[in-house]
Copies of this chain bind each other. A is one copy, B any other.
Amino acid sequence: MQLIYLVAAGGTIEKVYSEQTGTVRNADSKIERYFRLLRLPDAEIRTTHVMNKDSLEMTDADRRQVLDTVRQLLAEQPAPMIITHGTDTMVETGLLLKKELPDLRYPIVMTGAMTPLGFEGSDGLQNLTESLLAVRLLPPGIWLVIHNQVFPIDQVRKDREKAQFLPT
């Protein structure tokens, strides 16, 4: 049984629709509900909810908090890790991790979604499924996995108009 960490840091992938306000927002984490749609007989997913924010609102302190959580989990027991994060500043957080965590023994995969999990046309479950496979195959390092693409974190940027990631 493969241990895989899932660190949930908010972003579009976890947004919900509020019937009272008529808006989408980050509220409680819903990612575990979607993991149950997958068959993972050989994976033990250990989920940590760090925060649930739109990534445009994340501060340097927030990114430090993600880093601290990652560091603490890997210190307890090294294992592959997925971080779900808003796509707008995913690269920024990833670059901080790359700088601060030079001696990784396993891959850390950052992913997210353009449309929230469970909304028509969502890419969320695809990206989670891909990331779960990617952490089993990638070498140590910080990666961004989305839309059937795999990027080293320092060779990728978001194209907001196209709602996709491109190599730099």
Q: What is the interface of chain A, defined by CB distance below 8 A to chain B?
A: 12, 15, 17, 19-20, 22-24, 37-43, 54, 114-121, 123, 126, 129-130, 132-134, 136-138, 145, 147-150, 160-164
Contact = CB atoms under 8 A, between A and B. Distances in A.
Contacts of A150: 133, 136-137
A15 B22 CA distance: 10
A3 to B, nearest CB: 13
A-side interface mostly: loop
Copies of this chain, how many? 4
B147 A42 contact: yes
A148 B149 CA distance: 17
Contacts of A137: 134, 137-138, 150
B115 A17 contact: yes
A37 B122 CA distance: 9
A39 to B, nearest CB: 4
Contact of A22 (B12, B126, B138, B164): B12
